[in-house]
Structure 1
Amino acid sequence: MAEAQQKKPEQKPFKERFPARKSAALRTLAANLRRLRKERGWSQDTLAAAAGIDQNAVSLIENRRSNPTVVAVEGLADAFKVPIAELLTPGTKTRSARGGA
């Protein structure tokens, strides 16, 4: 019974548990994901389902609070039907923005 009465350690705030990363590659990935998602009118839930990952993962990636696996990035690229390199290239215009398919 004494164990049940013990206080749980206080959890750190979200921003301390998931700090925004300063990586240029993650900044580019986040910006490209958000842009592509908004161009298509998709919610994070829609993108997550298409990429086969959790919605929380999409949010963390878009906010640079996650270091996604190659498999997750591959799933995101597949969902958008773009090469992985397009997600990681600064200032990339999508095929749809260029007038392609």
Structure 2
Amino acid sequence: MQLIPCPWCGPREEVEFHYGGQAHVDYPAEPAALSDEEWAKFVFFRDNPRGPFAERWSHSAGCRRWFNAVRDTRSYELLAVYRLDEERPVTT
């Protein structure tokens, strides 16, 4: 079982969390103005890198807050965890 360090509650088991998708994806300024193709790209298409990837997570069985994490998609190792109002940390 992997421990995920919640920025507010500290390390907790991964079963307490829910994955929320790619982090730092801006909502469209005028969603009604998007074509069906543009809306589909926004909703369904995300980056899928091999290596460090910024993700959104929710501590759903704890404080119920959202936060960001940088996870290495090759090893599943969490490289950094940070609050939504913080800048993405530099990871190597």
TM-score bracket relative to the smaller structure: under 0.3
Write 1 or 2 for the structure with the bigger share of helix: 1
User: Which has more radius of gyration?
Assistant: 1
**Larger relative contact order, structure 1 or 2 (CA cutoff 8 Å, min sep 6):** 1
